[in-house]
Structure 1
Amino acid sequence: MLTYLGGFKVDEGDLRQAIQDLKELYKRRVTEYSITGEPIIDPYPVIKVGRKVIRGYPLRRSKLRALIPYSHSKRVLAIDASAKLLFDCGPIKVVVSKVAWALWRGVKTLIVEEPIIRIKVVKSREEAAEWLLKLELSKALEKRHLLGRGDYLLLDRGLMAVPALRKGTKGLFKELDRTLDRRGAILVGISKVSRLKLSTGSSLVGYLSYMAKRALGDLAWYYYPLFREGQLPPWYIGDITVAKLSEYSKYVFRVDISRRALKRWNLEELLGEVAYLQDPATPGYPYPLKSVHELSKIGGDELELLRYFFIELAEDEGIGEQFRADSEAYEFKEEVLWGSLI
């Protein structure tokens, strides 16, 4: 049978099944017991590492804290890199990235430079993603001298040097964390997308957002801790918090803060200083990160020009005819099925 969802004609069976699946997910209660034999009623965060499942603390309203912005004039270095597919040649792809950085003092811009275009041939999405991470880490290491005690480096990603990364990439991540700590600076990663989930299978961030809305209304807030100290693998460079940075925004983020920094700084003050870095026109997300994200974007016209000049260079180097044939063979899939994003 068919029904209407808004003005769209949809399969009624699919629609009812989707709602039923969500109802079961949100109502799911799995009774487990602690080592003392007491039932664990509240859901808890879980992270799967290989075959091992790491179970965090049961979620409690008492761990929610109102978040108050703290004004400051500390230096804030923000870095972001975008990536798009330049050419799809089947087994290989040519990808292009724009690496942007900016230095702020509090909510005022100090330095902004024109982003640098980077190009690389890769064989998989995973290789492209790691290359993007290396670009950001390398730029951060290059600009670390701009930061001192109490200053911030903001990245648009979680702080994890996952085992799947190459040794060199993991080394860059660890070196950045170590050298920033020696300078007294604070490494923070803010993830716009989080896959953290609960023991019930539902979203951790979504559940905390729902809990906070009922407990604190529209106030800004943060939740910590989620896991016991030392429970996460050593390649988790940051400890995980979840935060809503503004009372005027509905958005909730996973915020990772360097474990080294948490040994010397107060979490509430750190999050309060990060929350201060907002633009009133776009509340809820640090403006230094938003600004470099905008700078790193590669527009459609820009991408077409890069393609034109890259093919021209390939022809000058004597590989133009073969390269053009390879890329045109996959042009339909690239433009019609997949689009230009990696």
Structure 2
Amino acid sequence: MTGTMRAVVIDQPGGPEALQIRNVPIPTPQTGWVLIRVEAFGLNRSELHFRSGVASTGSFPRIPGIEAVGVVVDAPGDEFPIGTSVAAMMGGMGRAFDGGYAEYVSVPARIVVPFSSSLGWDVLGAVPEMLQTAAGSLRVGLEAVDGQSLLIRGGTSSVGLALATLGALRGMTVLATTRNPASRNLLEAAGVDHVIIDDGSVAARVREIVPGGVDGAVELVGVNVMRDTLRAVRTGGTVCFTGMLSDQWTISEFYPMDWLPNGVRLTAYSGEAADLSAAELQGFLDAVVAGRARVPVGRVYRLDEIVQAHRDMEGGVAGGKLVVLTR
């Protein structure tokens, strides 16, 4: 395919205004890569970190975006039939090579996951990275078992809301934190059984609800609260460090004997497209269509509104995933 497309380009790190919409050539996929007509993409805080220049990987100028959903329009290696609905995510997307903030994207076939769904692109655009991160945190990070108790520290984030939905589907007792009492209905609608208002210390409240501590916790806020999160988990339980909404990533003086309660495990999860199987993605989308699960879409934008979308992501103004439609 030849011609031009509209895309968001970052020449150098900066604020939201660094996101420039331009006409650029439609990429030509090499063998082993797939050209996707992008219908929608979700926004992720890692793209905010990349845009602002604090990410540890990536180069400029670059079309950002670590995920996208759309339709296959070219696959030189015949990995997918033309017209297949697909999601693409991670694997260097939007960092090492141009990403999903565009009308077309060329990506390695190994990071492409096919699906079939009657859901709208505005809903589908919210799913791939959010589901991959939430499902991987449960499966890999926590090795969670159906029916266990789960604490989500940072429950109103898109991954937090997805974790609540997955936990409810698995019959888990779900506890989630928020700093905003007005978010209670949002969390309960996602499947949270116990909403905890977070004043910086929640471990004692968690243990009132689940004596002895929860089986597992997913940390989405950051290391500034993780020590407290560790103390909300039972001996033999696990905390998975998945996110850092607070933008506090590292511990300056980590003394394990002081930080880690006896027998509580600390893991981490970031994941790749290979961690989300086509069957898992399809099963979740089917559950949404059947009304057994919901996709926590916060706000939907047009491509022209990408600067405002990043401002909103930085400000944390939407409860749920921010999605951009390309057309």
Regarding TM over 0.5, the answer is no
Structure (1/2) with the larger helix percentage: 1
Q: TM-score, normalised by structure 2?
A: 0.28
Structure of higher CA gyration radius: 1
Q: TM-score, normalised by structure 1?
A: 0.28
